[in-house]
Amino acid sequence: MTLNELKHQGLKKWVEEAVALMKPKAVYVCDGSQEEYDRMIDICVKGGLATPLNSAKRPGCYLFRSDPSDVARVENRTYIASKTQEEAGPTNNWINPVELKKTMTELYTGCMQGRTMYVIPFSMGPVGSNIAKIGVEITDSEYVVANMHIMTRVGKKVLDVLGTNGEYVPCLHSVGKPLAEGESDNGKWPCAPLDKKYISHFPETREIWSYGSGYGGNALLGKKCLALRIASVIARDEGWLAEHMLILKITNPQGVSKVVCAAFPSACGKTNLAMLVPTLPGWKVETIGDDIAWMKFGPDGRLYAINPEAGFFGVAPGTNMDSNPNAMRSIEKNTIFTNVALTEDKDVWWEQIGYDAPGKLIDWKGNEWIQDKANKAQEPAAHPNSRFTAPARQCPAIAPEWEDPKGVPVDAILFGGRRPSTIPLVHQATDWVHGVFMGSIVGSEITAAALDLKAGTIRRDPFAMLPFCGYNMGDYFQHWINIGKKTSADKLPKIFFVNWFRKTKDGKWLWPGYGENSRVLAWIFDRCAGTGKAVETPIGYMPTVDAIERPAGVSEADMKELLAVDIEGWKKEIADIRENHYPKFGNRLPKELMNELDAIEKRLGK
């Protein structure tokens, strides 16, 4: 499509202004077709940025290698530029929006010289859904266009819904490396130096400006930028929830289904749970989403969730047929791999893929690499944050309702973290506010491998939203409390906290995890149905020792330890929250959460 074919005059004017500022050699409006996707990939292959993989083993798959400086989200260069620093809150980087726009406008000036400007109309969520939102991303990266094709719904059908005056979130992106006449990237990933990278969000005006990075969440602006940072602000203003949560559907042997949303910090098994293969006979888990949930109230007063994404942008290392067989099957075709290793027969390999490296590889930096198990200091062949981008429709466990524009009614919400002690295998909130308290204290214990913090301390990541909340997190907690007042208690999802990572004193896992987590989900299912056996404790409802069917290798004594209330451990937990965590939020911390803290401390006793 051409710029003149745009019927939305406000959108057309915005694009024209971007053209005048960035000075591209050409402008192209994306139509979302397969031919367009193939053309983007072909440009990348011919430019030396992409390698076609073995068509017999991985049809339609390609490998990209990014610049070593451009391999992950850059949180210290990610900004919430609200009008005041107080609105951004203590957990976000803030720059005055006028000052930031001035800086970035200078960077954007002429930044697309020698490149094509692509205009990507995209829908987060099924096109036309009343829960979905539309964005338009301007970019000069074919890699971004191809990935957005997989991760969102792109093209003319989105423009049709937008009409002549519909609302959209404007998203500006450039890799920040203009080309002189006749110059090319010469197979090198284009990006700017770290001190010139900006991933900026303007909550009041609902704008996203990104410069200097071509990678993942910095450049695919529908993902974390729109779907969480900007959407969380829109959700606050409109009375719904935009959350960093998976969505799964679980069905019992009698054919009854429940929907569960779950928020875990990174490295806590979110994607694995979303695509779980249950070990419990007769139970079935189906995937609706693995990363983001948008929840709005339906006419019946219940919260309905959609997955606003159309694909999976998953971490490759650690993904294997044991940890996540459904993910492995999802990436067998039509997948973009970034920063994994390349085998001699043009297949992909990464650490913990489930088998040794098959001979000589090309690592993620483009160098020859031969596995040396004796060398513990050997650099990994795949970057630890290497990724796959795959269409969600390819997942063998995808639920039939995953694209239902009405969404699916949510029965339970789970929070969790990586905690070797104190936090039990599972416990349930006594009510909605107690559940908000649970979400507000989410965290994982720091290991000795993390050099920036003392081992054994807790890195808090409230609601797993710490890097993604687009406004003051104290106000975010209050918004969750307010959501609970919008309907009757019996229509709200029940809230639980899970911890798959308990260890014995000598460091052995108490719970096997993976597919065995279906046993915990079954108890949660039963609690939502009003049948699960539980006891009331100082920290909430917990399963009786016989309420969860034990997997092989877990003794009754193990189960008692997994489900015990560690009084002394919880007293230390309360003290850490009171002294180190909650004070960060100052007078924006809802009094209800401090009351909840006091009440739990009182129940635990002196």
Catalytic residue set: 268
What are the two backbone dihedrals, phi and then psi, of residue 281, each rounded to the nearest 5 degrees?
-60, 135
Amino acid letter for position 186: N
For every residue of 235-281, DSSP letters joined together read HHHHT-EEES-EEEEEE-TTS-EEEEEEE--TTS-HHHHHT----ST
What's the CA dihedral at 592, 598, 599, 603 to 10 degrees? 160
Residue 352, by phi and psi: left (phi above 0), alpha (psi -120 to 50) or beta?
A: left
Binding site membership for Mn(2+): which residues? 224, 244, 291
SS (H, E, C) 42-105: HHHHHCCCEEECCCCCCCCCEEECCCCCCCCCCHHHEEECCCCHHHHCCCCCCCCHHHHHHHHH
Residue type, 443: G
What is the residue whose two structure tokens read 């954007």? 108
Residue 444 and residue 267 in contact, taking contact as beta carbons nearer than 8 Å: yes
User: 276-309 burial by CB neighbour count: b if 16+ within 10 A, else e?
Assistant: bebbbeebbbbbbbbbbbbbbbbeeebbbbbbbb
Name which of 307, 300, 147 is nearest 243 in CA terms. 307
Cα–Cα distance, 440 to 571 (Å, whole number): 17
User: What single DSSP character describes residue 211?
Assistant: E
Helix or strand holding residue 435 (H, E): helix 432-440
Query: What's the residue count for the chain?
Result: 606
Residues 6+ away with beta carbon under 8 Å from 93: 75, 76, 77, 78, 79, 80
Q: What span, in angstroms and rounded, lies between the C-alpha atoms of 240 and 230?
A: 13
Q: Which residues are annotated as a binding site for substrate?
A: 73, 215-217, 266, 385-387
Which residue, among 64, 596, 45, 133, has the nearest Cα to 362 in the 3D structure? 64
Cα 548 to Cα 545: distance, rounded to the nearest angstrom: 7
Q: Which residues are annotated as a binding site for GTP?
A: 267-272, 387, 418, 514-517
| Bridge pairing between strands 257-263 and 412-416 | parallel
SS3 assignment for 400-434: CCCCCCCCEECCEEEEECCCCCCCCCEEECCCHHH
DSSP state of 509: B
